[in-house]
Amino acid sequence: MLLKGRNLVKSEDFSVEEIDQILSLSQNIIENPSKYSRVCEGKLLATLFYEPSTRTRLSFESAMCRLGGSVVGFSEPNSSSVSKGESLGDTIRTVSCYADAIVMRHPVAGSAEEATKYTEVPFINAGDGGNQHPTQTLTDLLTIKSLKGSLENHTIGLCGDLKNGRTVHSLVKSMSRYKGIKFIFISPDELKMPKYIKDAIQEQGHAYYETDNLDEVLGSLDILYMTRVQRERFENQEQYEKLKNYYILNKSKMQNARKDMLVMHPLPRVNEIDVDVDDDKRAVYFKQAKYGMFVRMALIMKLLGIKEVQNDLEEVAID
Ligand code: NCD
């Protein structure tokens, strides 16, 4: 199927082959950024952020600007007609009249799916409540592929708030489509990976192991994916206070990890990774943020049907 004109709501919306196309275009852009600096001239991306964001919004906006396109949108819903009571459907219909693609983050799980009923242009979910965050997953896949060489045969530990963290939901669903992946879910009892995600990976024939003890499994991991305890998803703030510092990865714990283990984190970090880990070459979370911009450049190009630049003189259609 063509990627041109499609929506991205959940990480399974694109096939493994389609994801491969996006990752390889991202790698091409990383190698030749200047060749892509005008391919989206005249195109407009709308970023509608109903929830706070640093990396996702700014990496999308940087991505579009670095492709030569332009950006409109809001980062604060109170500055839009949402504050006058406008429905999500009416907002999306209206923005569809102006922009060539829409990126939306919203606090309600399922709102991205809902928005696709109204959009006339490619729609990208930038996080819907505790549900999914598929472009963070593209970021994570590009990071793993670039730094580990392959998306197959890894033991990946996901640690922290696995109940409310949308990044880990999308990542696990996506990684479960590759061969030889072992999942280790590391969380306190209160923040365990939801059953529907565990069922989905079992259906793909993968085993998983659950524990609340990071030290017990750290030495067996190829990748450690840390997450923050999602304060905004807690109804009971006392429970958040009790759980927020459950895991703190620091330099001394890192001595027990493999020499080539990657420490990833979608960011923002709170206390779960001590700053004394930042200088460790295995800590790749800021690199990961940079990969996020390149993969979003590739995603925008694909959904808009922009041709891949082959060399200085010639352009070849990729879809
Ligand atoms: C994540 C998110 O918004 O879900 N951040 C991001 O997009 N990189 C992770 C988080 O907020 O913990």
Residue-wise pLDDT for 137-148, tens only, equals 999 999 999 999
CA distances from 81 to 48, 90, 122, 252 (A): 12, 10, 22, 50
Global pTM reads 0.96
Residues 97-126: pLDDT tens digits?
Answer: 999 999 999 999 999 999 999 999 999 999
Residue whose tokens read 């994801």: 19
Respond yes or no: is residue 56 known to be catalytic.
yes
The Cα 214–Cα 131 span in angstroms is 24
Q: How many other C-beta atoms are found inside a 10 Å radius of the C-beta of residue 273?
A: 24
Query: Mean pLDDT, to the nearest integer, of 252-277?
Result: 98
Closest CA to ligand 1's atom 6 = 266
Known active-site residue 231: no
Residue-wise pLDDT for 181-204, tens only, equals 999 999 999 999 999 999 999 999
Which of 57, 105, 136 is the pocket-test mutation for ligand 1 (most atoms within 8 Å of CB)?
Answer: 136
Is the distance from CB of 59 to CB of 292 less than 8 angstroms?
yes
Nearest atom in ligand 1 to the alpha carbon of residue 289 is 8
